[in-house]
Amino acid sequence: MDLTKVIRTIPDYPKPGIMFRDITTLLNDARGFRRAVDELVLPHAGTRINKVAGIEARGFILGGAVAHQLSTSFVPVRKKGKLPYQTYTQEYDLEYGTDAVEIHIDAINAGERVLLVDDLIATGGTAEAAIKLIERAGGEVVACSFIVDLPDLGGRKRLESLGKNVIALCEFEGE
C-alpha cells in the first residue's frame, strides 16, 4: 500500500504556498492506519525500547499505537503550559518567533531508550526540541520515526546531524 495515496494534500493551508499533508485521511482508513503503525513498529521489533514519546498532537495518536504494539509506555511531548506537573521546557525557533514544548520531569528515567514519533518531519525544529528534552531527562533517543518526510525543508538532515536515526514512511516534495 502506498501511504501517499491515503494522505490528503490541502493547498495553501495554513498560509498561501504551503501544501499541508493531512494524515487524518490515513487515520480514517483502517487498513492504511494499521499499515502505518506496523511500519513504524517493524524497525524496532526485538530491540529494547523503554518509552515512546509522541509530539503533540498527531504524534499522540501514532505514538500511543506504537507504544502499545511495542508493549511499552508513552510520554506526551506537549506545547508549553499544557502539562499539570513540573516540567522540563525546551524552546525552539519558528519562522515568526519561538515556541516551546515540555515533558514532565518524571516522564523519563536516566538511561531509558526512547523512540520519538510524530506524523511529519519538516524543518525538524520541534523534533530537535523534543530530543533535547528527552536527553535532559537522561533518556537516549534511539530513533525518530515519522509517517511523512518533507525533504526539501531539511528536517531529516538536521536530526541526522545530531546523530539520530531518522525513519520516514513516505516523502512529499515541496513545503
Catalytic residues: 58, 95
Q: Give the chain's radius of gyration (CA, Å).
A: 15
Cis peptide before 143 (omega within 30 of 0): no
User: Contact 149/155 with Cβ under 8 angstroms?
Assistant: yes
Alpha-helical segments (H) within the chain: 24-27, 30-41, 58-70, 125-136, 155-160
Place of cell 482508513: 29
